Each structure stands twice: as structure tokens, then as C-alpha cells.
A and B are shown apart, each in its own frame.
Chain A
Amino acid sequence: MKLRVFILLIAVFVFSGCSDKDENWLSFVGDSQIARWDLQVYFPSKLTENMGVSGSGIEYLKSLANSMTGKSAVILSGTNDLYKLKSESDIDSYAYEFITSVSALNAEKIYIYSILPRHFNNENKNVNKKIADLNLHIKEEAEKHNIVYIDVFSKLLKDDAINMQYSYDGLHLNNYGYEIISYELKRYLE
């Protein structure tokens, strides 16, 4: 008797909250920062796919054109292309090309992270001024295309470089860093 009552309780309990809400897949696209991100740990209740490719940049984004129909896309990319940007006009045209490539993914909703600050192999801290400038251009272009821009650059910056509490090598995030960027994205997802 108790067994029957228990099974009945379980069935009612589970079905009491049944929902037919159809949630989009979240496709995370970008470089090694994405590839190393344990998405199931930070987004355990979401349908996520990790499309990160270490060392990738804008060419990878272009190769994914029209592949995200019906999905939401989360983009974290750009740091591997910094060496190409020598002048202000390079930065301006890169930001335009970057957002055009992201728009071409054809995702239902797009969230784009700012490029993260860095201090890799003791490189010159001036690189972060270039990143800040590029982020500004990317933000402006994103707003024109109705893309959600998520600023994590300022949250990870300390003394003109990446805060080493959040990175283990000056480029890649550690778990504390991933906690911060996950939190910032969740603010928009919820």
C-alpha cells in the first residue's frame, strides 16, 4: 500500500511542474577560452554546446556562417587576431568585420563578450589599451546589430593587465575567472 502511495506521490511531484517551454540551445563559439570552459559545470541546467577551437579567430567565425539557426550564440573571440591590428583604422575595420561575421551566424539571439585583458609571457601592457579600444568599437557595432555586448574586460582588469587571480598564465582563465564570466552571462540569460 505504502509503495503504491509513494509511486503516486512521485508521479504527481514530478509532473506537477511539467513545462513545454522550448528553450534554445546555447552554442558557445570562440577560441581556447571557450574550449577550456566546462559549460556543464557553470550552466548545468542549460542545453549547451562547446564550439571552442584553440587558436581560432575571425576566420573560424566566418566559417560558421548560417550554422546557428534556431540557437542562441555566445561569442568569446578576438584575442588571437590582435597581432593583425597595427593602426586605428585596422581596429575600426576589424570591429566591423567581426560583428558582421557574428551576425552571419544567423543565431536567434547573440551574446558577445568583450575581448579579455591579458598579460601573457610578460608582454607589453600596452596591448590592453589596444584591446580596450577594440572593445569600444565592437560595442558600438554590436549595438547597431542588436547584439548583447557583455563587458568583462573591466571586471578582469587590474593594473592595466589581467588580474592574475583570474588567470593562471596571463591569457587563459582559471576557475575564478570562469565564475565571473559565467555570472555576467547569466545576468542576461535570466
Chain B
Amino acid sequence: MKNFLIKIFFLSSFILLFANSIQAQLKVGLRDNTYAQIAYEFKNDWEAKLEHSIYLEKFGFQKVRAYMGYNHMWGNFKLDANVYGSTLWNASYQDFGAVVTAGYRILKPWRIEATINPHYDTQYGYKTCYAASTDVQIVEHFGVMAQYTTIPEYRLSEKRVRAGFIFSYKELQVTPMLSIPVGEEIKSMRILCSFQYKFLFKKNKE
């Protein structure tokens, strides 16, 4: 109960801290069917994000994760670096890590990305996960993507290939995809969907 109250206090602080300066970008969305997100981008390059799970579990077994990140573009090259920490509400385990993604736009509609994710789970231990992905914009509002990843979709790292579509219209982006296991030990294919909507509160510098 004490842990729960402490978390409520700090979550409230997080919201209050930025409530008086919401002028730039606020993003809401869902990652992989399972994680509801709210993110606030400030000074164009910095982003704070909160993510909450929607597991098939009781509330105490839900996970909340906080990210702090920096992203910047230099011409066709993009860097996106985030650190994160998460815990279950019942505090049975925590995890910490960083997600660093480097992307390069080869042609105007074609982009490649590489991601490294050092990840520490207080029960499972340390693992370096990674992903390599590419996406191609076919027409104005539609593209395709493919990815090889070992970054956990839930708690444990699995080798998976993900392939899907990218639909975008104005500030909304929706990404339905298939997640196919490639390790012999895992047999379950997943249908996943992510979406993000950006609220723009003022014009950015660029």
C-alpha cells in the first residue's frame, strides 16, 4: 500500500510538473496492443513518456514505465536515445534500460534503422537486445515496414520478425503488423497494432 501511494504521488508530480508548460507536442497512443502511452515533447528534441500496460492481469500485475529521451536529425541521419525504468504496481520486479536507435534515409521514401537495447530485469538479469528495421513509403499515406528484433514485446526477449503496414494521415499514424517467432522454442504468432496521435500546441522551430 505504501509503495502504491508513493507511486501515485510521483505520477501526480510528473503530470503537475509539465501541466503548466504544455505548449509544444503531446502524443498519445498504444504500442503493440498492450501499452498505452502519453508523451510530452519539449525543446523540440527532448521527450518524456509514460507507458502503462493493459495485460490480461489484475491491476497489481500491470506495468508502468517512464522514459526520458532525446532525438535529433542531422540531414538524413536520425538519432533517438531513451532511458527507461519500469515496475509492476505490486513491485514484484523492476526493469531498467536504454533504447538507442540510429536511422538513415537512403532514398526519400526508404529508411533503415538499427536499435540497441541494453535491458536489466531485477529477476531475470541483464540482456542486450537489438533490432534492425526498414520501412518504405509506397504512396502519400501508406507504407510498409519489416523488422527483425529481440526486444521484448512482453517481459522476455524473443527472436521475432515483424512485418506490417504504416497508415498515416495528418497527425495520426497506425501500424498493424504480424509478429512471427523465428526461434525454435517459441511457436506463437501475434497480430499487433500500434497507433500514435500528435497534438501540436505551437509551431516547432523547424
Contacts and interface: CB of A to CB of B under 8 A. Distances in A.
A45 B92 contact: yes
A144 interface: no
Nearest to B2: A16
Given A45-B61, A182-B56, A40 B155 contact: yes
Interface string A1-27: 011011101111111111111110000
Interface string A32-76: 000111101110111111101000000000000000000000000
B23 to A, nearest CB: 13
A19 B11 CA distance: 19
A10 B65 CA distance: 9
Contacts of B53: 44
Interface in A96-110: none
A179 interface: yes
Contacts of B93: 19, 21, 23, 45
Contacts of B48: 6
Contact of B55 (A3, A14, A44): A44
B91 A14 contact: no
The number of chain A residues touching the other chain, given as a range, is 35 or more
A36 B187 contact: yes
B17 A13 contact: no
Contact of B91 (A10, A17, A48, A52): A17
Contact of A14 (B94, B123, B154, B156): B94
Interface residues of B, number: 45
B66 A23 contact: no
A35 B185 CA distance: 9
B63 A47 contact: no
B11 to A, nearest CB: 7
User: Which of B85, B89, B187 is the most central at the interface, judged by chain A CB atoms within 10 Å of its CB?
Assistant: B187
Given A22-B123, A41-B190, A14 B63 contact: no
Interface in B51-93: 53, 55-58, 61, 63, 66, 68, 85-89, 91-93
B91 to A, nearest CB: 3
A10 B154 contact: no
Contacts of B204: none
Contacts of A38: 188, 190
Contact of A47 (B57, B89, B156, B190): B156
B10 interface: yes
Which 5 A-B pairs give the minimum distances between C-beta atoms?
A17-B91, A14-B85, A38-B188, A40-B154, A13-B10
Given A10-B14, A16-B3, A40-B154, 17 more contacts: A2-B21, A6-B48, A9-B14, A15-B85, A17-B88, A17-B94, A19-B92, A19-B122, A21-B93, A36-B187, A44-B56, A45-B61, A46-B155, A47-B123, A47-B156, A48-B156, A50-B186
7 contacts: A14-B85, A15-B94, A23-B123, A36-B187, A45-B92, A48-B156, A182-B56
